[in-house]
Amino acid sequence: MFGTLAHLMPAHPVGSKPPKDVPPPTPINFPHCHPRVQEDGRPRSSPSQPQKPLTALLQSIIRPTEITLTHLEALGVNVTQDAPAADLIPDPSYIPDFATWDGLSQEEARDANETSRRPLNNGNLSPGTLTYVDRRRELYIQNDAAFRAVRRMQPPPGKTQVRLGNSFEFFRNLEAFASFWDDTSVPKAASTSTPSDSPEDEKGVGRSSTSDDGSDSEKTAQEGPIFFRTGSGNQMPPEYRLNLITAFLKLVAYDFGCNVSAPRTEPRLYITAPSSTSAAPQPTPPGSSTRSSYFSSGCTFIFRTPTTREAARSGIVEGPLAAVSARHFTNFPQPPDDPSSTATDTDSLIDLARELVAGLITAQHRAREGKTEKRVGEDAWWATKPRWGGGAGGPIGREVDYKEGDDIGDKDEVRSKDDMQRQPPLPAPSSSSSRGRDKGPAAKKARKNLAIYDNYRMVRPPSASWDKKTRYTAVGRARGAEWDDIFVVSALFHHVSILRVRVPDRLLEVLDGAPDDGGRRSWGRVDVTRSRWFDFFKAEERIEAMQLVWSMMAYLMRKEPEEPVDANMEDA
């Protein structure tokens, strides 16, 4: 009806001259933070100093600026930069031969499509060469031609309008990016060049005929850019980056039976301090004094879509498979001259911490498979016993009736039919109209929201944090492994990178309240493997990013062979 509200997006100007008073471009400096840890199991500090438990160390963080390298050392974070796809994917055998696929024509890809498809864990087959060739062709479209198609502009003379196909949503969001970021696919001299400002041009002298005007416009359309930036990168709305990375991931995720969507509940990394009475790694007894806190995150997730129509239409999702973290900070300092330097700054440290929080949240969600939710504060004293009253003046208001044992109930509670019948009827209004004699008094409409006092006096634990329409399962986890490989799709500026965070099961137990083993990292370390940053404006780099996302989805959605059944069990 409203054309997807595209008119609400601020369109950048089109022409041969850039607009005036444009703010300077935002410099692109990637965060530089890749800490290295010692051998597994070593103490975090000197043995003579008392060791602080990991949960207590993390719960002492109040503001993001309080994060230091000590917290990453306590977790055992070990970062590897610019890793190739073979090091990023745990099993490189699931990486397709993209070099061979790139050389296939449309007909050759159609013939080899069936043989290139693999079974998935949802019962379907993976996309093959035909789908890959289509995605590669769509992403290889030049930006100017794609922007013309998005804005429904006429193509240059002698050229036909391009067909974006499935990549229309991606280029529509990329076109919005071009209002705040310079198109890096255009040479810098051409993107910053302006027509001559000579007096002859200002007065209109030197234009001999209309044919010359047409040739000049055609030359501008072929050689120079026609889309210009009007703002700086730090002025871009945050949702633009999330929309772009979501549209890019959907190009591949849809064909694997997955989708990118925001969670219905706020993503939180829960941290529970160990009970003071527990001395061994065992479940925390109900009612024990434990301190629970959480770190919130603005990440989204990649979920698997159910194969049944009823479950899919009701909004049920399975997973999560991976996390999507789009950050909007742009003022990173310049990296050090030595690439191997381990020196870091606060902003880069906070950015890495946000990526780690997104990965740990995904690991906690995947570890919920086969478990039931235990709310924070369930069976605790502060969620079961009243803790107000007892002053020198005695109870007041409704507390007097509660002390005498009267059951007042909730004033906003809907009354039953028996209560309505026992209530004496109100006298009819004195009116000569038949409407007043026949119709009784209107029933009071029940309120949906509690009054402030009624809501305050209710003693109850916090609301549920598990989504009722999410089937938590560790899709793609290696069978029999003591860790879970978590993928985080990270977005900064107009770039994307993929991380693999190897989260040990022991670390999740410690975050859930298990003892910390005397300050030693009993879980070993958390290996973080990061790919290089890919620029969305450059066709070659966004195709490489698409290949990496394809390999990630192929590994996560793989169908593993069935476990062999023991012969002794069969005889029994």
DSSP string, 261-329: E--SS--EEEEEPPPTT--SS-PPPTT----EEEEE---EEEEEPPSSHHHHHTT-EEEEEEEEEE---
Helix axes 238-253, 129-139, angle to 10 degrees: 150
Whether omega for the bond prior to residue 320 falls within 30 degrees of 0, making it cis, is yes
Whole-angstrom Cα distance, residue 316 to residue 306?
A: 7
pLDDT tens digits, one per residue of 96-134: 999 999 999 999 999 999 999 999 999 999 999 999 999
- The answer to whether residue 495 scores a pLDDT higher than 80 is yes
**Mean pLDDT of all residues belonging to the chain:** 81
**548 neighbors 254 (Cβ within 8 angstroms):** no
Whole-angstrom Cα distance, residue 299 to residue 447?
A: 35
Amino acid at site 147? F
**516 neighbors 41 (Cβ within 8 angstroms):** no
pLDDT at residue 180, rounded to an integer:
95
Task: Say which DSSP state 120 is in.
Answer: B
Query: Is the pTM value of this prediction over 0.85?
Result: no
**19 neighbors 328 (Cβ within 8 angstroms):** no
pLDDT tens digits, one per residue of 37-87: 876 555 454 444 457 889 999 999 999 999 999 999 999 999 999 999 999
pLDDT tens digits, one per residue of 441-487: 666 555 556 677 667 777 777 788 899 999 999 999 999 999 999 99
pLDDT at residue 400, rounded to an integer:
67
| DSSP β-ladder status, 268-272 and 292-296 | antiparallel
> In what helix (H) or strand (E) does residue 485 lie, and over which residues does it extend?
strand 483-492
Whole-angstrom Cα distance, residue 234 to residue 330?
A: 6
Closest CA relative to residue 133, chosen from 110, 155, 116: 110
Whole-angstrom Cα distance, residue 455 to residue 85?
A: 53
Whole-angstrom Cα distance, residue 324 to residue 355?
A: 9
Whole-angstrom Cα distance, residue 133 to residue 96?
A: 13
Stretch among 256-260, 313-317, 559-563 having the lowest mean pLDDT? 559-563
Whole-angstrom Cα distance, residue 103 to residue 85?
A: 20
**325 neighbors 355 (Cβ within 8 angstroms):** yes
Whole-angstrom Cα distance, residue 180 to residue 41?
A: 47
The two tokens of residue 330 are 């742009």
